[in-house]
A and B are shown apart, each in its own frame.
Chain A
Amino acid sequence: MNEAGLRSLLREAPIPLGEDAERRGLEVVSEAFAQGRRARRSSLPRLALALAIATLLAALLLSPAGAAVRDWVGDVFTAGVPDAEPGLTEIPGGGHLLVQTPAGPWMVHPDGSRRLLGGYRYATWSPHGYFVAATSGHTLNAIEPDGTPRWSLSARAPATYPRWSPSGFRIAYRAGRTLRVVAGDGTGDALVATNVADLPPVWSPLGLGLIAYVETGAGIRIANTETGQIVGSAGALDGIETLGWTTDGSLLLEASRRSLALRRVTMSKLASNLHLGPARPVGLPDGATVRSAAFSPSGKAVAVLLGLPASAAAGLRSEVALIDTASRSPRRIFAVRGRLSGLAWSPGGKRLLTSWPDADQWIFIPTDGRGRVRAVDGIAAAFDPGKPRSSSFPRVEAWCCNQPPGT
């Protein structure tokens, strides 16, 4: 390839969704420009300015185009993190956390004390928190909460995304591009599916050995891990990154960076097949990026963490919202100017935990609108003691079980 050829290729390579991106960008930039002009020109007192903005918002929301975002600007809005606690001395609401760091997963106890479990990359609780399944390179390991290895299994390809079945008798994991299942004691390792996409599988909460995963280029598949049969299938959202399944087994959650959808699941009378209904999209604000999404333990809501485009006036924003699974209507419960990452439900569903890496904080958000938001400072140092602040912020994998693990 000569330089002229390279120039030509760079200029002509197709860019996905280029025209839509240009239109969306112009809307955002133009609105930020108009707001900035208004703010600079105005000699009105703040109250008058606030009223003007409220009027603009009201006009937007009463228009047909604004109707879709109406729910996103109502209800609770909390800016910033109030009165952060100086260190991790307890987990608000109790339970245990599994936290992934570059050194490996840590277990955090209700009093804030913590233990590094070892040099593993992906970790997950057993259903009652008695064990942790974790992967490291090509191995899948079951470890006790104090870090003692119980058993270890070697796979032919890098092992990722271990997921313990609700019964506790099976662990699914991804090895290379395959999905495999092994018994909870490390025996009977078996292939379930090939060409499996790079996202965690999710077990059916109803038992029956059913597991949902995404087959690359094909869509969602539900397999019976005992027989290897596919018992349900459907297309998946483009760029799907998250799958979830409600505890009553009736709904699947699909999330990609730009969209969120719920899909009804019904079982045939003989329980031999599952019918997956159409994906029903959840309306998101224009330009929003889905960073995390998860069903509540009750299955009545989906918590979603959204990144919203930067504006000249406000900068990058993040919002946490709850979406009612019946009405698909959202309720914002927390918002900050900055980038939040990750969401974990407390075992009882009363709180959500998210991270604010730039502020070095974890934030515990009450989900019922009562109680106060609690923030804890000094998270990076808590998992990397004695070192300057790490570039990789501890990631909460899961929040488990009110009873102490191992008891």
Chain B
Amino acid sequence: MTALLIAIGVICAINLVLTVLLLLADATIANYGSCTVTVNGEKRLTVEGGRSLLASLKQEQIFIPSACGGRGSCGLCKVVVLDGAGPLLPTELPWLSPEEQRTQVRLACQVKVKRDLQIRIPEALFSVRQYQTEVSGLVDLTHDIKQVTLKLIEPREITFVAGQYIQLEVPPYALTDEPVYRAYSVSSAAAQKDAVELEIRYVPNGICTTYVHRHLKVGDRVTINGPYGEFRLRESEREMICIAGGSGMAPIKSILLEMARTRNPRKCRYFFGARARRDLFLLDEMRELEQALPDFRFIPALSAPDEEDAWEGERGLITEVVARHVDDASQAEAYLCGSPLMIDACVKVLREKGIPEERIFYDKFA
């Protein structure tokens, strides 16, 4: 019996020593010390080694867009790493075209800062900032879409272009033990600088949407960063065809508000798809925009209206409705926002109607 206890004691002691050695090794061998990240050949940042490039840049208030929280599953956080990143990782390969691999594009979330790095990022990202906000409004637009209004606390104003998006930080809660970020288009007018409005659709088990729909309250503090994105109104006099569904309403609404503010005379048709009456929202606001804009028409369409909807408007999938309404669109340009499935189907219809691909602008955030 004594021998058994001694043996157990010896094994425990060995385990303890090994654990201490491992901890020491982790703290010393894996300690990369301070590293210098040179951005665009000018800006030199001193960061603590060992973290991802994405996290290190965020620490220095440089925000690279990312929709998956750094898991390498969205492919958004692409930066050019000219030196110091080491070989491409298997987790990056699916996201990078041969041309991107050749030009040293990497996923910032997968590159670990272990030595000095030289990177290149778009200049526009230097204007991205982090904002502390307070929830000043929560409105159920439909059974699964919430409008969230965030009043800016610090800094007190944001400058963005209608159509752009921000990233919202979800703090640790039941579904996540670390902060995560999700991208949402701003739906409010760009001229309103002291607040941003978002339209967020509930996604089953979604970290951010569950947080917003089930936990967020008026008065809560929320951190956001932005603005990001190239989705915006192009300067031209061409007819506009806008198509959206669900929370894809957000950036289109922001663009329309900007057009109303600047009294933009362009012809614009906005096709909005939903299943039934209960999935439609902001109808009054769209009618007001029809009054405010000289040549704007809002065309909601229901794919499966309920009997009690007594719907007299357009029926069918949004692609079918667009196909019915649009004849020759070769001179038009199109603005789309919705799920990747919807965007792909709409692009196909618009191409058939004669719009060249380079005049179809879209935001594929679901």
**Real binding pair:** no
Q: Which residues of chain A have a CB within 8 Å of any CB of chain B?
A: none
Interface residues of B (CB under 8 A from A): none
